[in-house]
Chains A and B, each alone.
Chain A
Amino acid sequence: MSRIKAKRIGFRIDMTPMVDVAFLLLTFFMLTTKFRPPEVVKIDLPSSHSELKLPESDVLTVTVGGDNTFFMGVSSQQSRVKIFNAVVKPKLQAAGLSSVAVADSLKKFKLAENFRVGRDELDKFVVMARFADQKLRPVIRADADAGFDAVNHVIKVYKKANLLTFNLITVLEREAR
């Protein structure tokens, strides 16, 4: 019995499922992508062979720029509010700002990833961040060119705040030795 073969010329495939999956993936990637926020200072990280990953939450980052300036950032917004109320607010009030202006700067402070800190203010901020969140994971993100005294200052501040385990952010170095 010879079977009659169906003609294969100009055939059509239903592409609907493929397009469905493509759109699903597209939506997923579009919604999960978080664009990297613009950096306040350009940090040129040192490299190391460590493959340990940065913890996801409760991170306290002290950034040291190449010109030895300090920036601080806390990942949780509740902690930011607490830090603002304890340290920044009294300072603004002493400067004679109205309550509206203070509330306005709180809003700004809550959304800021990083803020600039003076060298001698750093300990006050770190201690306050420690009070606001006990599970804090301290991290130092310093430029490779930063002076050791600036980084040592941060380490001493952490030590004073009893944060004895901390991480240094580096980029992975692939060269084998």
Chain B
Amino acid sequence: MKDFNRIASLFRKFRTHTILEDEVHELRDWLKGKENRELFKRAMRGERETHVMRELKKYDREAAFRRFTERVHPKRRRIRYYVRLAAAVALPIVLSVSVYWWMETPARETEPVAEIISLTPGQKKAILTFDDGTKMALGDAIEEKIVLNEGAYLKIDSSGLRYDFKETGEAIKMNELFVPRRGEYNLTLSDGTRVFLNSDSKLMYPVAFGDGQREVILEGEAYFDVAKDEKRPFVVKTSDLSVRVLGTAFNVKNYPDDLCVEATLVRGSVKILEEDQEMLLEPGEQARLDRSSGKMNKIQVNTALYTSWKDGLFIFERERLEDILTTLARWYDVNIFYQRSTVKDELFTGDLKKYDGIEEHLKMLEMTTNVQFEIRGNMIVVK
């Protein structure tokens, strides 16, 4: 049996018409086997493959699994968040919800990159996927106006992405915006809602919202400034809970590798409902749910800690070193290696400017904690 890679490389050369004559002979010899011939024929039907992948991708596995668990565990505790808008409140209510969860997703592998890229901070960048699967790279410099339909535009400029759409009563066309590590990006949805997407995060949303509730799906972290519309609640769906609001601003965080559920209220009033318990939050309070015991506690927090990322700052207050470095790793796209795991629990308090080089931050951390860092390529070794 010939080496797979060799044969596959011959296939590829054949497809791209770059195959050399003696390679044709080699391929022909290999094709003498009946089984091999079948395989070859199948492999040459290329477009079908990409098409099938697209079809498979259409099915929402998360939603299907949620539907399933609702049926097989009808009594299970589910967490629901409602924002109760006080009638007298004129200002937008700011609610920050951080969701950490651990069970259902496979742990995301970090990206070990062998070469040195540069340890400069992230910048504006994202990949936009249209409903037909085509992708478009967005960066700082691009300026464009795309006509999606009659009277419907997608404007891209230095301030981000903006959907200018006459809403027709029906939610149409899902687009997807993915922000890689070392990235951040802003967008404005068809209803005027502003979204700040953090590094390594993905948002799926319709090009125009319909008459029903406004729904978007989030993986990772985003800050929403929701356009007020009491008739159409705004719902952010994440892998294990939905945040439902009328018109407010809040932060949602659900990176797959983080651990518990938190909801933080900045301004206004919010009611958190779980199957058989409910909790009213005052500004500056946080509801924290321990997912294993199902117990929910209320604590006082400094809400700036949960939303400062969108304003160019990382604010830490007696934060564990490991959590700090996880945040930095997403923004600078580096990997962290701990020589001793005991240092993970060292606490740090301070403000770090997001657009400074990571070296600055490490120096600061070295000065105020008991650890030393060494940068090797894009790996940070914690000693």
Do chains A and B stick together as partners? Answer: no
| Residues in B lying within 8 Å of A, measured CB to CB | none
| Residues in A lying within 8 Å of B, measured CB to CB | none
